[in-house]
Amino acid sequence: MKELQINNLNYVHHVSLFNHYRILDTITGFSASLTAGSINGLVGEMGSGGWLVSYLLAGRINDLTESSAILLNGQVIGNQTLRDISCYVGEGVIESPYRKLKNYPGRLKRKILNVKTVADQIKLGILKTNNTMTLEKISELFDLSGLNEKNERNGRIYRPLEFQSGEVWRASMAIGVAYQKKLFCFPWLEPHYLKYILAGVNLEYIKMLKEMGCMLLIPISDDNYLKDISTQNLYLKKRKIIL
């Protein structure tokens, strides 16, 4: 995957994270070119369209059809192709969809319903894509905890993604790498999570994905958040938030 082009994109849609944080976002006349191995800041206040662009390119909008607004390596693409290439950081990949915790609160129910753990999702991604990496290697790259514990009580990697707490961000990125995704789309993370994601070791995971040749989209309100690490910053017009 060399280049993703967005040409005069106009869209209005609800965007969400964890089926909890939710707004109606709008983007108008948006154009950009993203290249392999790039960190792209979508700079604007909440409601200015940055989250919507990231959410849309993560393949999360079910009614999106093929449109001349989005091209991959020069070819017009639709939602299915976006799902094939992308990972929505925090919720993972569409092949292993995020589920609400209240639907399976106990370990026995999760076992009956075959709810996959982070380790399960990584192993499945490796299998489906013939990835040469191993569970151990990916776990090491993203510092996932509990690989040698072998049980859910002590080994966090043996819990579903929704039980990862602060580790959910890197665990979801690890799942994306297992599935060999090339587009990593971040949700709007301000104010609670952004500084955590862009600080310390978490920032190293983002840089690592860039070195792997991935494209990253990060909606932010201030370009200083990505100072010295972004390949390009795309500035958005201020829009009204509709809750």
Residue-wise pLDDT tens digits, 86-136: 999 999 999 987 777 676 667 777 777 778 899 999 999 999 999 999 999
d(CA 46, CA 67): 25
Decide if 104 contacts 33 (C-beta within 8 A): no
Length of the chain (residues): 243
pLDDT at 113: 77
Class of 1-93+181-243 in CATH:
alpha beta
DSSP-derived secondary structure letter, 117: P
Q: Mean pLDDT over residues 166-178, rounded?
A: 95
- The angle formed by the CA atoms of residues 163, 120 and 114, to the nearest 5 degrees, is 80
Residues of the chain with CATH 3.40.50.300: 1-93+181-243
Q: With bands split at pLDDT 50, 70 and 90, how would you rate the model's confidence at 153?
A: low
Residue 6 has pLDDT above 80, yes or no: yes
pLDDT at 149: 75
For 43-53, write each residue's pLDDT tens digit.
Answer: 999 889 999 99
For 188-232, write each residue's pLDDT tens digit.
Answer: 998 888 888 888 778 999 999 999 999 999 999 999 999 889 999
For CA atoms 118, 123, 124, 128, the dihedral sign is: positive
Model pTM greater than 0.85?
A: yes
pLDDT at 154: 66
